[in-house]
Amino acid sequence: MEEDALNQSTAAEADISLHMLSESPSGSVVIYVVPESSTVLPEGVSVYVGQRRTALLRAGGQMRVAVALKEVLASLETWIKQVLQVMSFSHGDITAALSDRVRPGDRSREGLADSMRAFKSSPGYEITFSLLNPDPTSHLLHWDVEAAISSYIQPLLSKMAPVANFSIDSQILYYAVLGVNPRYDPTLNAYTLNADSLSHVINPVEARLGSSAASSNPVLNFLLYVPDSRHSPLHITDHRRHTVPSNAFSSPRWGGIMVYNVNASGTELPVDVHIDMRRVMGVFLPQLRLMLGVQSAAPPPGFLIGPCGNAGLADWELDRLMWTRSVENVATATTTITSLAQLLDQIGNIVINDNIAEQVSSAVASLQLAVGQLEVGNLGLAMQYSKEAILQSERAFFDPSLLHLLYFPDDQKFAIYIPLFLPMCVPILLSLLKMASEVRQRPGQGQAKKD
């Protein structure tokens, strides 16, 4: 059966038919070793990573002579390690997930940037697409964002549903301008925004975006900016002053901005512009993947990563994300509970209500369950328990009855009694002084008496 599947003409087809044969549980990786003579893998490729949880590995040249199973495995070991590094949860992922809590130390700059880019784990995310139209008198923009979201964004989000809840909004903002004036570049015959100035772009726009009124989940913003006719076309240039082909950039843990140039050649204003949503979503989708923490590191040489299907996310990528998120959630919940304990240590007379105690204990129980499930490799349950742990620990920590300022410190109580204690101290101190002076005089007197 599996041999039949592996006899397919291309790796992608083999991958699909292998998946039909047996579905591997989440968190696992199945590696099929194919003989060197097999034509499934293209020339020069030794490992094919499928869109499910399978990988095809071409046996090395020395395999022909090897006989014992042990030797075969030994020779494949380096490859398998590499496959696992790509497809499964590795040491690097742990450090990335805990980057906020672990000192960066010797980690590479790039790894740090990667981990900073993604949003922190949260039970839900709000995704907002905004179309910025700085000049509605010249452009009348139409975008079919509803259809674009349902065909491009929604498959990815429904696949990621076990990780978090997502809600999507879109809006059109008029007279929204960028914070930087683009510079005219005569060589390109266009206006340019340099990479250095991009950090100033967002602030004035953000005031108009409006924070999410209905929930406290983090918001991912995706802005589509259509420059007005006086600053058109507008290109984003990188540090070496080359134009960026996608004409977009992303801001870590905030969102992405894309500049969409229209050639307003029409004589009659305003010009109707229909925006090509395919092009736009082609930019926003990878940005969204990055923001949500799906990492796409460059594969090692000899690896071929299969196309990830219409969901935009392979099964093994989802597994890896769930590993990362669970670990991150466990760490966050632990920190929250620890800091709650620290707070209670600091303020001795704080009142802990029963419901808080209950929440803390159930948070700890969920944490233990989550860790147990992680050990077993049961990702879905681990994710769910870790989410519960976070929710309960946060609810306990942010309970209004635990407000620090409700408990005024002891030194203030002493301040109230100062008018009592201060005058009462005066005669005591005076008599103490007197006693001290008497003690000092007494040896002298004793000597005098001896004489």
Partner 1 sequence: MAAFRSNIFMLAFFLCGFSVFVTGDVQTNQMNVAETVFIDNVPTTETDASPPSVTEQSQTAEEKRLWEGTEVGTNLADGASDNKVDHVHDTMQATDAPPSPPAKDQTQRFAFDERIWEATNVEINLVEDAPPIRDKEADEADHVLDTMQTQDFPPPSTAKDQFQEELVIKPLHSGDIYASFQFRTQWDTDFLLGSKVSHYRLFPKSLGQVISKFSVRELHISFTQGYWRTMQWGQPFLPSPPGAELWVWFQDTVTDVDLAWKELTNVLSGIFCASLNFIDSTNTVQPSASFKPLGVGNVTDQRFLRYAVLPREIVCTENLTPWKKLLPCGSKAGLAVLMKSEKLFHSSFHSQALHIRPVCKDWQCKSTSWELRQTLNVVFDLHTSGQGKREWSLFKMFSRTLTEACPLASSSKVYVDITDNPQGELFELSPATPLVSQAVVLGDGRTYSVYDLTDHATFGQTHSLNVLLRWRAAESGEMLRPLLHGERYVAGYGLQTGEIHTLVYNNHPYRAFPVLLLDTVPWYLRLYIHTLTVTSKGRDNKPSYIHYQPSKDRLQPHLLEMLIQLPPNSVTEVTVQFERALLKWTEYTPDPNHGFYVGSSVISALVPSVVAMDTNNTQERPLFSSFFPCKEESTYFMRIYTEPLLVNLPTPDFSMPYNVICLTCTVVAVGYGSLYNLLTRTFQVEEPSQGLAKRLANIIRRLRGVPLLT
How would you label 74-100 residue by residue, b for 16+ Cβ within 10 Å and e otherwise?
Answer: eebeebbebbeebbbbeebbbbbbbbe
CB nearer to partner 1: pick between 210 and 372: 210
Shorter beta-carbon distance to partner 1: residue 403 or 424: 424
Residue 105, classed as helix, strand or coil, is coil
Residues 144-173 binding partner 1 (CB under 8 A) are 145-146, 149-150, 167-172
Distance CA 443, CA 451 (A): 12
Shortest distance in whole angstroms from residue 213 CB to partner 1:
5
Binding mask 55-84 for partner 1 (x = CB under 8 A): ------------------------------
CA geometry: angle at 101 spanning 95 and 105, to 5°? 60
Quote the CA–CA distance of 96 and 161 in Å, as a whole number. Answer: 22
Closer Cβ to partner 1, 128 or 336, answer by number:
128
Among 424, 433, 437, 442, binds partner 1 (CB under 8 A): 424
Quote the least distance from Cβ 29 to partner 1, whole Å. Answer: 34
**Segments in 160-305 forming alpha helices (H):** 202-209, 277-291
Strands, E assignment, 95-229: 124-133, 139-142, 165-174, 183-185, 190-194, 219-225
Burial of 362 from C-beta contacts in 10 A (0-12 / 13-18 / 19+): middle
Instruction: Please state the closest distance from residue 274 (CB atom) to partner 1, in A.
Output: 15
Binding flags for partner 1, 242-281, as an x/- string (CB under 8 A):
----------------------------x-----------
Give which of 290, 321, 306 is closest to 88, Cα–Cα: 321
Judged by CB, which is closer to partner 1: 303, or 407? 407
Q: To the nearest whole angstrom, how small is the minimum distance from the Cβ of residue 181 to partner 1?
A: 17
Tokens of 375: 């050990």
* Residue placing its CB nearer to partner 1 in the complex, 341 or 436: 436
Question: Near partner 1 by CB under 8 A, which window of 107-115, 308-316, 349-357, 422-430?
Answer: 422-430
Among residues 422, 444, 447, 448, the one that binds partner 1 under rule CB under 8 A: 422
The answer to whether 363 touches 333, Cβ cutoff 8 Å, is yes
**Residue 410, class by beta-carbon neighbours within 10 Å (0-12 exposed, 13-18 middle, 19+ buried)?**
exposed
408 binds partner 1 (CB under 8 A): no
Virtual torsion, Cα 264, 265, 270, 274, nearest 10 deg: -50
Q: Strands of 47-49's sheet, edge to edge?
A: 30-34, 54-58, 47-49, 303-305
ω into 270 cis (within 30 of 0): yes
Please give the residues from 177 up to 216 whose contact with partner 1 meets the rule CB under 8 A.
207-208, 210-215
Bridge partners (DSSP) listed for residue 237: 194, 243
Q: Which is nearer to partner 1, 245 or 427 (CB)?
A: 427
Strand 54-58 to 47-49 pairing: antiparallel
Residue among 65 and 420 whose Cβ is closer to partner 1 = 420
Q: Which of the stretches 19-27, 93-101, 238-246, 411-419 binds partner 1 when contact is defined by CB under 8 A?
A: 411-419
Can residue 426 be called a binding residue for partner 1 (CB under 8 A)? yes
The reply on whether position 175 binds partner 1 by CB under 8 A is yes
Q: Which of residues 14-53 bind partner 1 (CB under 8 A)?
A: none
Q: Which of 224, 236, 231, 232 is nearest to 192 (CA)?
A: 236
Q: Shortest gap between Cβ of 416 and partner 1 (angstroms)?
A: 6
CB atoms under 10 Å from CB of 109, counted, come to: 8
Nearest-angstrom CA–CA distance, 19 and 2: 10
Q: Which stretch binds partner 1 (CB under 8 A): 114-122, 279-287, 352-360, 414-422?
A: 414-422
Name which of 342 and 412 has its Cβ closer to partner 1. 412
Binding-site member from 22, 417, 437, 442 for partner 1 (CB under 8 A): 417
What would the two tokens of residue 225 be? 């900016």
The distance of closest approach from Cβ of residue 232 to partner 1 in the complex, given in angstroms and rounded to an integer, is 18
Instruction: Scan residues 348-407 and list those touching partner 1 (CB under 8 A).
Output: none
Q: Which residues, 111 to 150, sit near partner 1 by CB under 8 A?
A: 128, 136-137, 145-146, 149-150
Tally DSSP H helices, then E strands, for the chain: 13, 14
Kindly state the smallest distance separating residue 170's Cβ from partner 1, in Å. 4
Nearest 5°: phi and psi at 262? -120, 145
- Exactly one of 44, 61, 348, 427 binds partner 1 (CB under 8 A); which one? 427
CA angle 324, 325, 328 (to 5 degrees): 85
Cβ proximity to partner 1, 184 vs 417, nearer residue: 417
Among 65, 428, 439, 448, binds partner 1 (CB under 8 A): 428
List interacting residues with partner 1 (CB under 8 A). 128, 136-137, 145-146, 149-150, 167-172, 174-175, 207-208, 210-215, 270, 416-417, 419-420, 422-424, 426-428, 431
